[in-house]
Copies of this chain bind each other. A is one copy, B any other.
Amino acid sequence: MAELKNNRLLRALLRQPVDETPVWIMRQAGRYLPEYRAVREKAGDFRTLCSTPELACEVTLQPLRRFKLDAAILFSDILTIPDAMGLGLYFTEGEGPRFTKPVRTAADVNALTVPDPEVELRYVMDAVRLVRRELDGQVPLIGFAGSPWTLATYMVEGGGSKEFGLVKAMMFDLPKLMHRLLAVLEEAVTAYLNAQVAAGAQALMLFDTWGGVLTPRDYRVFSLEYMERIVRGLTREHEGRRVPVILFTKNGGQWLEAMAGSGCDALGVDWTTDLYDARARVGHSVSLQGNMDPSMLYASDERLREEIGSVLDSYGRGSGHVFNLGHGIHPHVNPDKVAVMVDAVHELSRPYHQN
């Protein structure tokens, strides 16, 4: 493997000194880029794009050609695992992902098996290997997965949801069944992330997109607990380097202390929490990743730079901050704004890292 030329991300995630705050963007390979839309068009559908390593690799690398980003993140989908479990993933226009065979009964849960990452999910590992080779050490590659709770919401509801009525009814009335489902997913996610590390991923992120729809107690019992178990089961050293793990619960700002105790290296933070407060609450235990409002990319360059200054200032001096948006980039953002943002983060962050 080529030597890593830019290790700002890995260093910041481990709270080691850096020269500038590293920056990457959730969904940086995505619809806001015309070159992404062209490849997506060529692929015909989203699933083909995800499951063809050459295409997934191409769109993973696209944002790095435009912007001085400090990390690549594998282009993939959090629903690859339930798909590999045989639930029949498909995508509808406007309605998002759906499953032909949702998980609703004890029999459905008992029938689930843990996919072999190098068999059923081989296309993902091939994409990781290809991206690593193509990156040639330019920046580190982040691998990722959805949290067990988040995957369970899609699997039980049969797709996206607003109310989460079915999955919550299962959680409320059949907690043992829900725990069985989450335990299978925990095992599957752990194997999947470890395989990504073996294939070349240099940092990992767990996306708990829907942990924030739970009560504090249910969050701990049905989401955080399984993320903790995953973190404990992950390969944390590879290629002679620590593999940092980032945990992100959207709308989880109230639970940062609990999340920080999970054994992860960093927490994703959305823009409803001030980084100054977040840092005070989690102390020196973890790094923080975030947290600009994605809609700030609709503002003028001047206002955008001002806000980047505020976000950097809210974290303050020293390492332990990875700049990012507080959620995925919106599809209608002008890519020129992203260039302004990435350059401003590097430029404006230097004083925070000088002695």
- A residues sitting closer than 8 Å to B (CB atoms) are 163-166, 168-169, 172-173, 212-217, 219, 251, 253-254, 271-274, 277, 293-296, 298-300, 303, 307, 330, 332
Contacts and interface: CB of A to CB of B under 8 A. Distances in A.
Contacts of A307: 172
Contact of A332 (B164, B165, B168): B165
Contact of A217 (B215, B274, B294, B330): B274
Contact of A295 (B168, B212, B271, B273): B168
Contact of A296 (B172, B212, B213, B293): B172
Contacts of A169: 295, 298-299
Contacts of A293: 168, 214-215
Contacts of A274: 215-217
A223 to B, nearest CB: 12
24 contacts: A163-B294, A163-B330, A163-B332, A164-B295, A165-B330, A166-B298, A168-B296, A169-B295, A169-B298, A172-B295, A172-B300, A173-B300, A213-B272, A214-B293, A215-B271, A215-B274, A216-B272, A216-B274, A216-B277, A219-B272, A251-B251, A251-B272, A253-B254, A254-B254
Given A212-B272, A215-B271, 11 more contacts: A164-B295, A165-B298, A165-B332, A168-B295, A168-B299, A169-B295, A172-B299, A214-B272, A215-B274, A217-B274, A254-B273
A143 B217 CA distance: 33
Contact of A168 (B216, B273, B298): B298
Nearest to A270: B215
Contacts of A272: 212-216, 219, 251, 254
Contacts of A330: 163, 165
A303 B300 CA distance: 51
A301 to B, nearest CB: 10
Which of A164, A169, A172, A299 has the most chain B CB within a 10 Å cutoff? Answer: A172
Which of A173, A271, A295 has the most chain B CB within a 10 Å cutoff? Answer: A295
Contacts of A173: 299-300, 303
Nearest to A271: B215
Contacts of A254: 253-254, 272-273
A214 B168 CA distance: 27
Contacts of A273: 216, 254
A329 B253 CA distance: 25
Contacts of A172: 295-296, 298-300, 303, 307
Nearest to A302: B173
Contacts of A216: 272-274, 277
A159 B192 CA distance: 41
Contacts of A217: 274
Contacts of A214: 271-272, 293
A166 B332 CA distance: 11
A164 B217 CA distance: 31
Contacts of A168: 293, 295-296, 298-299
A303 B170 CA distance: 11
A253 to B, nearest CB: 5
